[in-house]
Amino acid sequence: MVDAYKIIKKCRLCGGTDLEQFLNFSEVPLGNNYQHSFSLAKSAETYPLGVQCCKNCCHIQLTHSIFPSILYATNYTYLTGVGESFVKHLELYSAWVAKRVGLRRGSLIVDIGSNDGSCLSFFKEKGFRVCGVDPASMPAKIANKKGVETINDFFSRDVLENIISLHGQPSLVTSHNVLAHVEDIQETLHLIYDLLERDGWFCMEVGYFGAVKNKNLFDTIYHEHLDYHHASPLIKYLTSIGFFIHQVEFNEIQGGSIRLLAQKARESGQSQQVLDIVEAEKQKSTFKLETLLLWQSDIEKKMSVLEKIVKKAVSEGLSIVGYGAPTKATLLLKLSGLSTNELDYVVEDNDLKVGRFLPGTALEIKHSASLESDRPDIIIVFAWNFYDDIIKKLQENLSYDPEIICPLPELVRYSLNWKT
pLDDT tens string, the chain, 420 residues long: the values are 558 899 999 999 999 999 999 999 999 999 989 999 999 999 999 999 999 999 999 999 999 999 887 876 655 666 665 667 788 989 999 999 999 999 999 999 999 999 899 999 999 999 999 999 998 888 899 999 999 999 999 999 999 999 999 999 999 999 998 899 888 999 999 999 999 999 999 999 999 999 999 999 999 999 999 999 999 999 999 999 999 999 999 998 878 999 999 999 889 999 999 999 999 998 888 888 889 999 999 999 999 999 999 999 999 999 999 999 999 999 999 999 999 999 999 999 988 899 999 999 999 999 999 999 999 999 999 999 889 889 989 999 999 999 999 999 999 998 766 443
Q: Which among 134, 159, 298, 311 is positioned nearest to 216, based on CA atoms?
A: 298
Task: Specify if 92 maps to a domain.
Answer: yes
Q: What residues are paired with 250 via a beta bridge?
A: 258
* Same domain (yes/no): 248, 359: no
Number of domains making up the chain:
3
Question: What count of other Cβ atoms lies within 10 Å of the Cβ of residue 70?
Answer: 16
Beta carbons of 202 and 179 less than 8 angstroms apart: no
User: Domain containing 144 — which CATH number?
Assistant: 3.40.50.150
For residues 182 and 51, membership in a common domain is answered with no
Whether residues 66 and 212 fall in one domain: no
Rg from Cα positions in the chain: 22
- 420 part of a folded domain: no
Give 296-305 contacts, CB < 8 A, sequence gap 24+: 296/22, 296/23, 296/24, 298/216, 299/23, 299/216, 299/218, 299/335, 300/335, 302/216, 302/407, 302/411, 303/332, 303/335, 303/336, 303/337, 304/336, 305/411
Same domain, 198 and 172: yes
Where does 68-177 have alpha helices with state H? 68-71, 84-101, 118-125, 137-145, 157-167
| Residue 30 lies inside a defined structural domain of this protein | yes
Q: Do 226 and 318 fall into the same domain?
A: no
Q: What per-residue confidence (pLDDT) applies to 385?
A: 87
Domain membership flag for residue 385: yes
H or E element, residue 52: strand 46-54
Judge if 272 and 328 occupy the same domain: no
Domain containing 383 — which CATH number?
3.40.50.720
Which of 291, 314, 344 is the last residue before a domain boundary?
A: 291
| Residue 64 included in any domain | yes
Indicate whether 261 belongs to any domain: yes
* Same domain for 182 and 100: yes
Q: Are both 149 and 23 inside the same structural domain?
A: no
Report if residue 144 sits inside a domain: yes
- Check residue 101 and give its pLDDT: 95
Is there a single domain that holds both residue 179 and residue 233? yes
> Are 162 and 278 within one domain?
yes
For residue 230, which phi and psi values (nearest 5 degrees)? -140, 175
Which of residues 73, 96, 111 is at a domain's end?
73
212 and 303 both lie in a single domain: no
Q: Are residues 121 and 257 in the same domain?
A: yes
Of the candidates 244, 259, 291, which is a domain's last residue? 291
Would residue 88 count as lying in a domain?
A: yes
Give the residue numbers spanning the domain of 361: 296-415
pLDDT at 336: 96
Q: Which of 168, 234, 165, 158 is nearest to 191 (CA)?
A: 158
Strands in 227-228's sheet, in edge-to-edge order, are 19-29, 46-54, 60-62, 227-228
CA contacts within 13 A on the Cβ side of 352: 20
Cα dist from 67 to 6, 8, 73, 78, 286, whole Å: 8, 12, 10, 18, 30
